[in-house]
Structure 1
Amino acid sequence: MSFNQEFDDHGAWRRQFALRLKLLSEWLTDHDLMEAGVNERLDQLHAQVKNDKIMVAFVAEFSRGKSELINAVFFAGYGRRIMPASAGRTTMCPTELGYDAEVPPCLRLLPIETRLQPKSLLDWRNAPNKWERVDLDVNDPQQLARAIQKVAEVRRVSKSEAAALGFWNEELPDDNPLVGPDGLIEVPKWRHALINMAHPLLKQGLVILDTPGLNAIGAEPELTVSLLPQAHAVVFILAADTGVTKSDLTIWRQHLAVQGQGQESRLVVLNKIDTMWDALSSPEQVQLQIASQRTDSADILGLSPKQVLAVSAQKGLLAKVSGDDKLLEASNLMELESALGVDLLGQRRRILSAAVASGIQALRQETGRLVHIRARDLVEQIQELDGLRGKNAGVIKQMRLRIEQEQADFDASGAKIHAVRSVHLRLLKNLFALLGSTHLKAEVSELSRALKQPGIKLGVRRAYGHTFDRLRADLARADTLAAEIQSMLEGSFKGLNAEYGFSLQPPSPPQLAHYARDLVAIEKSHLQYLSLGNALRLAQPEFAERLTRALMSRLRVVYDTAMNEVELWNKSASAQLDTQLRERRRNFVRRIEAVSRIQQAAGGLDGRIRELQSHQTELNLLDAKLAELTDHLLSVPEEDPAEAVAV
């Protein structure tokens, strides 16, 4: 199955899930089960699936056919090239292709001069007025291709300006671009490009990251320490006839090589195998040469041979456009698409499904607990009313007085419940402080100062180590504090359950320790800049400033995600207490109303008991329906989901 087909299936699964979630939400609202905690959980699940993005990054040195490969895999349906793929340098700035329904089809370009200002790329994303915008007509392939050609635009600047922008360093002559006869240097006109278009794959959550070559990659630390490490798959393109060159190996070692679990997310493509189709060699000899290049490349890069594929992007694009199945098979393009589809999407679906399943189980427990509370209250009312059979009016009046006294005592107990909330909020305040942006800035301040010192930064590796040790210690303290809060909640809820007959159960605590793995990944992605080979680049104040901003942007994402998890946990616990307080108050009102009706009508007792028994049956049906709907969410079957919501 091709990548496009696999992605279509993934998109269909996400749409089915979103539809079933919407139907469950409506059903919960219709049956008065949409409590605050449940609503929060639904919103999180909806956002998790709706906003799920799959980023595939394409990385290569110049002239490896990277943009042509993107055209062949994703844009052959246009019948022509969309990404610029002519000879020489084409993609001069990192280019993201994605889809946002709230933004019209357009190309947005961030001027290269923004590198001179103290803002991260993330900050610039939130300042749309600073980007140059070009509207796109997605139904006109020629206009689309013409507009996107702008990502290849360059400027010619002086050496001093090139140095300020990060493209020239007198201490690293091998990395410097060529100087023209006029003494000027060619640099990209744009720092970053965002293409928003309603391509079917992009609409389903695919994000394609097209990166420039080695010099531009190294000059933009936010790309290498943030965007590339967060990509779900990286396709590294080499030339089939040369294999792994020195510059290819530099890119791989400094920016792409990973160990352990992350290694399966790397695919290497030996492109342009058509250059090896030699009329003087037999097809068997050509295949042996290609197989030898695959094996050698895998050995050099430390990968499994199955992760190195040999294709011809140009012939694959031509074959798709012309409908030549034989040429398409010879290009091996479908083998690459299959690897992307099976490995990347299969892995992503498993991760998303596991996260979603956990959320659905929590949703099921919270809603099921509410149904259980109502069922228990009904049993108590039926037993209470059943005990009135054959009793005189005086006994019934006494029961009413007793219920009213219970209600008054319960209302007077608000101070105890308020005390539980106060202790909970005080501990939470400390936890939020540990994960807040102010504390994060303070923890990174030592490293920031070390990076901004002029000249060679001899102690910066030690500063990195100390900073990340402190950050990991912060997360460990936050995890311990969360465990203390969980223990407090368990004790408090147990006491309230015993005293008031509640059925409070603390939600699962946030798992903050696993964010330490994110810190390790961030630290590793930065270590590439602390090597002796990068010491001179790091000595440049402008580069060190960009590296600091990139670090803060990435750390902020981790801490914000951890904070969101804590907030959801807090809201789930608070909402559960609010729900049971409200249900208990409603129960008092219903019990008093029932006794009043019995006092007013001689035959009201039996009628009220039958009415409560009827509500019992309805609640049992609700519980069964809830299980059915949540099971459907976990399975997302192929049939029309509307069939599953008839109540």
Structure 2
Amino acid sequence: MESHPSASFAHSVDTLGHWRSTLESRVRELARFLREHELLDEPATGLLESLRQRLAGEKLIVAFVAEFSRGKSELINAIFFADTGRRILPATPGRTTMCPVEIGYEADEPPGLALLPIDTRLQSPSLADLRRQPRAWQLTPLDMEDTEGLAQALTQVTQTRSVSVTMARDLGFWNDDTPDDNPPLDEQGCVEVPAWRHALINLPHPLLKRGLVVLDTPGLNAIGAEPELTVGLLPAAHATVFVLSADTGVTKSDLAIWRDHLGVQGVSRYVVLNKIDTLVDPLSTAEETEAQIERQCNDVAHTLNMPRERVFPLSAKQALAARVAGDEADLVASRLPALEEALSERLLPQRQQMLAQIGVEGIAIVEQQVGRRLTDRRRQIAEQLLELRGLRGKNATKVKLMLTRVDAEAAEFEQCISRLQAMRVVHTRMLKDALLDLSSDRLREHVGEMQEGIRSSLLQLGAKKAFMTLCGKLRERMKRAQSRSEEIHSMLEASFEMLNTEFGFSLLVAPTPELGRFIGDLDLIERNYVQYLGLTQALKLTQERFLEQFRRMLVSRLRVVFESASGELELWNKTASAQIDTQLRDRRRGFKRRREALERIQAAAGELESRLSELESQDARLQQLQQRVTELVEGTRLHADPRGDLSERDTVSTSELLDDSIDLLLDFEIDPARA
């Protein structure tokens, strides 16, 4: 199913995906070149690979949330899938999406629909755990050439089943404390609930291939019964579109969804007032209809406490029909392009800037390391050239003296080993202390304390307080890890300065990893969970099964934050250690080559000119390498940030570093007296 999206937002997503794909290719090309020329150590390799995977696997998640029958699925069809020429998601009367649906694309999996049975809510594994258990899902292959069959297969997300009140209560769809919100009973006294807990649709659609993920979340019951939607999937979305219906306005259940699940973080929220075509009255003028739409938009903005410019009146049904028919005038009349333009202008540039920032910073670190490595290699060659050129016309005694001097310099250099060992002992201890604050054991320990606090409170009404206490402790651990990483930085900086001065290293400590963004992640989790832990959910926590599921879900979410912070801190420290190993190895290799060259010269005078020519060729090759590295780095940086807004740094460029260092050494050859 190949297509060429023409819609504003669809085109912008495609453009962002192409930019990201090209940047990832440039990073891969840079890594390959540096690896082929032995200019990458293990941490730098890991950094570039991590950056490449981040760019290749980056997802843009757009969530659509609404009560039943608000036209949400029709809106998704109109924005993303109109190029198929028909409805893909079921959006006709009586065909309402009943379970949360994620639509995306994973290249290593065949097109298909994976459905998670609703009964899995009775088990302890969280939704995140079940994603890693393929056998828990029911898989239906999808034929992308058969759009009719594809649409028919996807109607499975509308399936329901009839269960007893007891079962509905266990599944989270019945609450004795809020009878007005419970679903109606049928003639047999049973309750209709969704047949599926979650659905994953893997489609090789051009936009989905570019990293777009569409999250379709239906109804208050579906959201409230699945806590991981509230505290996991919805907060992770980069934009959330809340769909209302113009013929109903903001209903009680609409307001409950907004207040309980979407009100926080309004920056990424957009509100759609759908079905404005139902407001058209043949007895009213166009001006009167427009005034009515505007009044409703103002009322919605006031009720939801949103800026009016974030409320978009439109007709998804009209937009889909217009796109399928290729009717541009009718598409404009549907007003969908205004929403797409807002998403394109506000959401996508922000995502691109974030990825560009990550790319520019990662490349800068690698550039600095490679530049210093090239500098060190060329400096050693310059020293050898200076030394060997001084032997022209000298006798064997002079060569013997030079051999003695090389041995003495090598022996003196090896004295740094004891200093390095002492520094590494201190470094290892300090790193261990920093990582201890971010360990999974400490995390589980604190979550266990929170769980006991909830159990011991009256009717679990202290859940919110226990959770906020947990967040406070975790933030302190993250801050302590940040403080300890700064102490490591100060220690390494002082040690590197001493080693550079006494033993001629060219070591440099990279900036301390900024763990503040992980504290921001903790703040986001806290806001969403605090909003979730209202009276209704607190009462649910009296059930041991629900409390255990809540704990597993929480640990799963927090572990991602702490493991990411720990990984970043470890990689930073490995980078510092690898510099020492690399320069130590290069310096020893340099001494060995100098000695071998002098021994050859001692054996045959003709070897001198040969060795000089060889060294000059090596230096010319290193200059070419440096030039190519600069071209690759600048090309990658320019693609990431064409205006250069993100690349202003205090450090000098690689070429400046090389030129200054080598020119200084070769000055000695011009003026023998200075040597």
Provide the TM-score with structure 2 as the length reference: 0.91
In structure 2, the gaps of 5 or more residues are: 1-6, 643-675
Q: For 1:126, give the aligned amino acid.
A: R
2:665 aligned residue: none
1:301 maps to 2:301: no
**Does residue 111 of structure 1 match 2:114?**
no
Match of residue 494 from structure 2: 491
- CA deviation string 1:444-484 (max 9, x = no partner): 11212234569722322221221111111111111111112
Does 2:67 match 1:61?
yes
1:98 shift after superposition: 0.9
Aligned partners of 2:162 and 2:192 also within 8 Å: yes
Q: Mapping of 1:83-102 within 5 angstroms?
A: 83-88=89-94, 90-102=96-108
Deviation at 1:438, TM superposition (A): 1.1
Report Cα offsets for 1:87-138 as digits up to 9, x if no partner.
Answer: 2461211111111111111111111111111111111111111111111112
Q: 1:377 aligns with which of 380, 387, 390?
A: 380
Asked whether the equivalents of residues 451 and 548 of structure 1 are also in contact (C-alpha less than 8 Å), the reply is no
Is 26-35 or 249-258 further displaced after alignment?
A: 26-35
Alignment partners' CA distance in 2, 1:326 and 1:638: 37
Higher alpha-carbon deviation: 45-54 or 453-462: 453-462
Pair 1:406 & 2:406 matched: no
How many residues of Structure 1 are paired with residues of Structure 2 in the alignment? 636
The answer to whether the Cα contact below 8 Å between 1:225 and 1:526 also exists between their aligned partners in 2 is: yes
For residue 328 of structure 1, the aligned residue among 328, 331, 338 is 331
Equivalent position of 1:287 in the other structure: 290
456, 460, 464: which one pairs with 2:459?
456
- Superposed CA offset, 1:286-325 (max 9, x none): 2221122222211222222111111111111111111122
Equivalent position to 1:124, from 130, 146, 153: 130
Q: Retained in 1: the 8 A contact 2:77–2:320?
A: yes
Identify the residue that residue 4 of structure 1 maps to in structure 2: 10
Which stretch of structure 1 is more off in the superposition, 533-542 or 558-567?
533-542
2:344 aligns with: 341
Alpha-carbon distance between aligned partners in 2 of 1:542 and 1:138, rounded to the nearest angstrom: 41
CA contact (8 A) 1:452 1:545 kept: no
Q: Pick one of 210, 216, 225 that aligns with 1:219.
A: 225
Instruction: Answer yes or no: is 1:242 the counterpart of 2:248.
Output: yes
Retained in 2: the 8 A contact 1:62–1:89?
no
**Identity within the alignment, %:** 49
Moved more, 68-77 or 407-416: 407-416
Amino acid corresponding to residue 73 of structure 2 in structure 1: S
Secondary structure class of the residue paired with 1:379: helix
Aligned partners of 2:61 and 2:214 also within 8 Å: yes
Q: Would you say 1:435 and 2:441 are equivalent positions?
A: no
CA contact (8 A) 1:598 1:605 kept: yes
- What corresponds to 1:645 in structure 2? none
Match of 1:211, SS?
strand
Give the CA deviation at 1:625: 2.2
Q: Distance in 1 between matches of 2:560 and 2:324?
A: 41
- Correspondent of 2:47 among 41, 50, 56: 41
Contact 2:26 2:636 in 1 (8 A): yes
| CA shift for structure 1 position 435 | 1.0
The aligned counterpart of 2:630 is 627
Look up the match of 1:553. 556
Deviation at 1:144, TM superposition (A): 1.2
Amino acid corresponding to residue 84 of structure 1 in structure 2: P
Q: What letter corresponds to residue 305 of structure 1 in structure 2?
A: R
For residue 169 of structure 2, what is the aligned residue in structure 1? 163
Matched, 1:184 2:190: yes
- Could you give the per-residue CA deviations for residues 300-357 of structure 1, whole angstroms, max 9, x where no partner exists? 2222211111111111111111112221111111222222222111111111111111
The amino acid that maps onto 2:364 is: Q
Aligned to 2:199: 193
Distance in 2 between residues matched to 1:326 and 1:217, nearest whole Å = 37
State the partner residue of 1:447: 450
The answer to whether the Cα contact below 8 Å between 2:323 and 2:331 also exists between their aligned partners in 1 is yes
Equivalent position amino acid for 1:271 in 2: N
Check the 8 A contact 2:23/2:640 in 1, yes or no: no
- Equivalence map 1:215-614=2 (5 Å): 215-258=221-264, 262-411=265-414, 413-452=416-455, 456-532=459-535, 534-614=537-617
Structure 1 partner of 2:620: 617
- Looking at structure 1, the residues matched to 436 and 293 of structure 2 have their Cα atoms a distance apart, in angstroms, of 57
Tell me how far apart the structure 2 counterparts of residues 142 and 39 of structure 1 sit (CA, whole Å). 47
Deviates more, 1:9-18 or 1:85-94: 85-94
Distance (whole Å) between structure 2 residues aligned to residue 546 and residue 174 of structure 1: 26
Cα distance in 2, alignment partners of residues 407 and 571 from structure 1: 26
Bigger drift between 423-432 and 2-11 goes to 423-432
Contact 2:66 2:219 in 1 (8 A): yes
Q: Distance in 1 between matches of 2:552 and 2:261?
A: 18
For the 8 Å contact 1:69–1:313, the answer to whether it is kept is: yes
User: For the structure 1 residues 383 and 638, does the alpha-carbon distance in structure 2 shift closer, same or farther, using more than 3 Å as the test?
Assistant: closer
8 Å Cα contact 2:478-2:515 kept in structure 1: yes
Deviates more, 1:75-84 or 1:404-413: 404-413
Q: How many angstroms does 1:535 deviate by? A: 4.2
Q: Is the 8 A contact 1:110 1:132 kept in 2?
A: yes
Contact 2:356 2:640 in 1 (8 A): no
Deviations 1:388-417 (A, max 9, x none): 233321121121122134334544653432
> Aligned partners of 2:194, 2:38: CA distance in 1, in Å?
58
Inter-partner Cα distance in structure 2 for 1:559 and 1:223: 21
For 2:528, what is the secondary structure of its paired residue?
helix
Alignment counterpart, residue 636 of structure 1, candidates 639, 646, 649: 639
User: What is the Cα-based RMSD across aligned positions, in Å?
Assistant: 2.0
CA distance in 1, matches of 2:240, 2:501: 55
